[in-house]
Structure 1
């Protein structure tokens, strides 16, 4: 009987899933949970620069996967090729972080944009969507400001993270990143 160390198996599973090789949903979910646990144990910190760029959602486990009796529980699914969900993190002219979350089905794009802030001690990226756009190809059909939580509070920078949506990142590799969202789900994005 061969005993494998999850610390060595986890990167292999995530790299395979990120590169397009199919691993079972349970394997990928377990690898994400193991990576999250390892990051917490090692108290790894990432810089916001590691997150900059365009990322395509490859895999998600939305039902709050966790450990039960020491074993990973929960499952997820690969994003279908028909729907392309993506995140883009960048810096604006004032060197402030911004986020763009987009879902594309055929030529139709639903896009949310807004400011973001990164808390390095927790690898937490909090954000607030302030604009909604609907595009068909390069033609903008809808371009509306959103009345966001931070706008109601008066200032995004001063708004407590407890009042904002966020991603808690636990992997930030050159070709992929992984995080747990405020709702408890896990996600694996690959560099576009």
Structure 2
């Protein structure tokens, strides 16, 4: 059975990552990460309703190597499914700093029903100061989880599939 950190363990990981970095490296992030839990900005309790909804919608984050020469850039896909409906945001991401931050932006929104595209829209890159990011708090390659805090202050755990 997988061990997920509780909020106190996460706070310790976060404090350490702010001071010394999380030690998370490029290769560890590659793959598909399924959403597991979310905590609010100032909360010690898992937000059960949003967590359950995102689990039912199979919310996931996928990070792929963008090119072999540049080991900090990713293609990022963030998607949900509801039956045959799939909504996917696709864009670019990069690791920044020692903590590190995973800064990203979405370039395209795609909506499909089954494998049939029904909507596709290019998205504008936000200004640097408004760029979304995840502050990477901790990772367990043994239990396959990743913990990060978003720009808005929420904290989440994903499980690698």
Write 1 or 2 for the structure with the bigger share of helix.
1
Which one of the candidate residues 145, 155, 159 is aligned to 1:176?
Answer: 145
Aligned to 1:34: 12
- Using structure 2 for the length normalisation, give the TM-score: 0.82
- Partner of 1:50, secondary structure, is helix
Structure 2 unaligned residues grouped into runs of 5+? none
Quick one: which of 112, 121, 128 aligns to 2:89? 112
Calculate the TM-score normalised by the size of structure 1: 0.70
Q: What is the SS of the residue equivalent to 2:59?
A: strand
Maintained 8 Å contact 2:20/2:98: no
Match for residue 99 of structure 1? 76
Shift of 1:42: 4.3
Establish whether residue 165 from structure 1 lines up as the match of residue 143 from structure 2: no
Larger Rg: 1
Give the CA deviation at 1:188: 0.1
Question: Structure 1: any 5+ residue segments left out of the alignment?
Answer: 1-11, 18-26, 67-72, 151-159
1:84 aligns with 2:53: no
Cα RMSD of the aligned pairs, angstroms, is 2.3
Cα shift readout 1:73-123 (whole Å, capped 9, x = no counterpart): 444334344211100011224653111000111221111011111114121
